[in-house]
Amino acid sequence: MKKQFTAIISLLVLTIVLISMYNINSLESKIKAEQYSRLVNDLSKVTTDFGAWISKKVQALNTAKDIVDNFSLEEITEMSSRNFFLDINNDDPDISQIYIGLDNGDFITGSEWIPPDDYDPRERVWYKDAVIAEETIISRVYIDRETEELLVTISSPLHINETFVGVISTDVFLSNINDYLKKSIEGEKIYTYLLDKEGTFIAHTDKPELIGQNIYTDLKNKVYIDYFEQVKQTSKIVELEYAYQEQEIRGIVQKIVDVDWYMAVATEEEDQGFFERIIDKNLILNMGIVIVILILIYFISRMKSVLYKTNKTLVSDNEKDFLTGIHNRRYLDISLENIWESARDKNDLSLLMIDIDNFKEYNDTYGHMKGDEVLKLLSNSIKDLLRKEDVFARYGGEEFVVVLNNVLSEEAVDIADKIRLAVYELNIIHNKSPYYRVTISIGVSTIFPSTKTKIEQLLNAADIALYEAKNNGRNNVHVNNYIS
């Protein structure tokens, strides 16, 4: 009887352990999914910011090219150094002074640097790449002759009076790119790296020793090569998961728009499986198995609690827009479905579709950083006017959505007009707006959720109302409760 009781207890304990293991594995799978979603969010932010950062360098070069194109070759070549035609980029410390390599081998620069007698720009990587491409390009990684530092060069073929005269260029050192990406990435164990089209590391915020290394010729790492070949074949995000130096790496990589480079963000953790952390197979034969398993249950319970908290934090992070701090489109879609179900056949549901007027012109005039500040300021101002239960989310770009449960059409219009007026009274200067300040237009729609109506009808009606508000001169509220 005693043996049977012991066997039953042991079986019960083992069953509990197996169930706990299953729950933990399930939770770990959820955490992986949330980590992936968070990495996607980080990658989107870093690639967008870096794209704007590198575009600013290209714009500086193109500006110099436009200036030079207005003068004759004789005027441009009067000064071989400290050339004031090329001395235009003092506001950007991340690029060198602009210079020109002429097709006769001469060299002109906006800096004080005078090349050695044996220096021929036509033999340099940046010159050859630009001539072959016949357009503005970013060169392969190469070593600077003077500083022996790694760099890339933004280069463009130069024509004066429709005649090719050489290549105009500016340098960007890889150390500056790496420093910029370090400032862009936030969070412990989150890092980013950048590869050019040849597979050379341009930047790596966690392992700077890899900068300048090529995955084909230097590292010869099959895992890196396989993932890189995969991402070169698609414009979509490619998920990475592999072991490197006893670390489990999880990340994502994607091609940067308009630049033939590839950006990745990744995180790492100890490469240990669940069983290796908590169980020794030899203990199965030990007479003290029940005691060991009971101890394991205690640790499993604690581990599950930690994993649950981690998962909850990751879910919360992925429901917020990284710029404004309000809810994002993902959260809006989920919440709207839940609110719709709770309001079905019970009460009205109103929705405000908000768009910042002439926002593209604002960004073009004042810059994207100022535009980001406007998005944050407007989000905070609107949020202060809403109830705790109202859902306020960034719908995309400069567009926002407010969901008002159990609010009739007349009241929704009043709320929309208060929001419009609050933004107007912020008095944010906007010289390209007919109102000379930042304004918003709002489309309002109200619906009674039922089996005969759909969420898409509510969104479409609000979108049509917003369109009408724009057509009516902007800075106004328009309502559309017609549900087609």
Residues identified as active-site: 398
CA distance 439 to 428: 9
**Residue corresponding to tokens 């809810």:** 327
CA distance 410 to 350: 10
Residue 303's SS3 state is helix
Residue 287's SS3 state is coil
- Is 355 within 8 Å of 398 (Cβ atoms)? yes
Looking only at the bridges linking them, the beta strands covering 440-447 and 349-356 are antiparallel
> What is the torsional sign of CA 172, 173, 175, 176?
negative
Tell me the H-state helices in 318-408: 329-343, 359-366, 368-383
Q: Quick count: other Cβ atoms within 10 Å of Cβ 261?
A: 21
